[in-house]
């Protein structure tokens, strides 16, 4: 359940920033010869629509239709009774409450003879019912994958998103700081303390997982009840603020070698350079593996690289990195976000 305040704050996300995102998106659409782009959203896949509109959709299916010219249309199955509230937190696009978003968008498409080729973000994951309604209402239109155009517009973090990322990062960092390895003995109490801190700090979402004893098993799990902690354990906090997600993880122990690993990890992230293979930069003699995530589509964070991968992050793009070291005394796990290149690495890390 989303429990945080969902509101549009013009200081955090100015209308000018949203207008610039729309301009960038339309330029990418023209480069891919797309007359329009359609983005699907539901509870676990809100991020593309959030980026364009500043609104974080929830529960019901919805489609955001962005033509190359004119106002976008947000067609949602949410009831009309929430229409006034949605309009107050969604400054971009016309709102249409409809039980059949695919049919509604298809009818808009069919009414515009200039729309001939439409990109659909993550077309293979579009629910079949929406696809059928869309194609039945606008059979003359060619539908193609639109992910390349969206990713091109989305890849660089603007100042507004940088601020939201910094806030989310601070929430996650401060929440993990509630863990006291010297006094805490119960996993449920640790998870509760971390989630409570994140929620009170304004997180709309907070998912906290724990590896209760790294000597036994280096895997995260959701723990809500009592469970004894090992002498070395790890906690991961994934939090959202105004629809923007970060993930942080820390290994907790009283072993100095783990503090050395913390220092290596922070230095490695701060030193990431854009345009260079990630795997060549992220090196440690005891590294067992890593995963790099980013927000490139409708999911808040998705894997874009892993151990041995050769992805090169663009200047100003987001990377959320999870690394695992197999140290002589046992596994170590850490995770943190970073904006790659320029002053971004230091700015986000220090927030």
Q: Domain spans of the chain? A: 15-154, 159-350
Tens of pLDDT, residues 273-301 = 999 988 888 889 999 999 999 999 999 99
pLDDT at 57: 76
Closest CA to 151 of 236, 65, 277, 39: 39
Tens of pLDDT, residues 141-185 = 999 999 999 999 998 899 999 999 999 999 999 999 999 999 999
Locate 229 and state its tokens. Answer: 């902690």
At the topology level, CATH places domain 159-350 in Creatine Amidinohydrolase (3.90.230)
Confidence at 350, pLDDT banded by 50, 70, 90? very low
At the topology level, CATH places domain 15-154 in Creatine Amidinohydrolase; Chain A, domain 1 (3.40.350)
Common-topology check for domains 15-154 and 159-350: no
Reduced to 3 DSSP states, what percent helix, strand and coil does the chain have, rounded to the nearest 5?
A: 35, 25, 40
What pTM value is reported for the model?
A: 0.92
Say how far apart CA 65 and CA 76 lie, in whole Å. Answer: 11
Say how far apart CA 63 and CA 133 lie, in whole Å. Answer: 12
Tens of pLDDT, residues 229-281 = 999 999 999 999 999 999 999 999 999 999 999 999 999 999 999 999 888 88
């Amino acid at each position: 359940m989303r429990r945080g305040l969902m509101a549009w704050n013009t200081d955090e996300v100015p209308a000018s920033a949203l207008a610039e995102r729309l301009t960038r998106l339309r330029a990418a659409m023209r480069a891919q010869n797309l007359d329009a782009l359609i983005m699907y959203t539901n509870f676990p896949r809100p991020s593309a629509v959030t980026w364009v509109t500043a609104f974080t959709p929830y529960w019901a299916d919805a489609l955001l239709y962005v033509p190359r010219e004119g106002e976008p249309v947000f067609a949602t199955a949410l009831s009309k009774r929430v229409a006034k509230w949605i309009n107050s937190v969604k400054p971009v696009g016309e709102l249409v409450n409809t039980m059949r978003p695919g049919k509604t968008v298809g009818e808009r498409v069919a009414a515009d003879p200039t729309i001939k080729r439409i990109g659909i973000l993550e077309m293979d994951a579009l629910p079949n019912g929406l696809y059928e309604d869309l194609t039945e209402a606008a059979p003359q239109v060619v539908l193609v994958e639109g992910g390349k155009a969206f990713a091109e517009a989305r890849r660089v973090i603007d100042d507004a998103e940088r601020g939201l990322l910094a806030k989310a990062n601070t929430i996650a960092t401060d929440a993990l700081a509630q863990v006291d390895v010297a006094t805490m003995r119960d996993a449920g109490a640790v998870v509760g303390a971390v989630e409570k801190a994140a929620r009170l700090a304004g997180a709309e979402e907070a998912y906290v997982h724990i590896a209760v004893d790294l000597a036994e098993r280096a895997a995260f799990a959701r723990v809500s009840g009592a469970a004894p902690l090992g002498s070395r354990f790890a906690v991961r906090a994934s939090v959202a603020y105004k629809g923007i997600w970060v993930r942080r993880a820390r290994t907790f122990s009283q072993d100095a070698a783990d503090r050395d690993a913390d220092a290596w990890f922070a230095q490695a992230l701060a030193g990431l350079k854009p345009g260079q293979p990630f795997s060549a930069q992220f090196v440690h003699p005891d590294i067992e593996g890593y995963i790099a995530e980013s927000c490139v589509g409708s999911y808040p964070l998705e894997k874009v690289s892993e151990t041995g991968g050769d992805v090169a992050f663009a200047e100003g793009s987001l990377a959320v990195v999870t690394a695992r070291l197999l140290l002589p005394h046992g596994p170590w796990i850490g995770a943190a976000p970073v904006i790659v290149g320029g002053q971004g690495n230091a700015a986000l890390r220090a927030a």
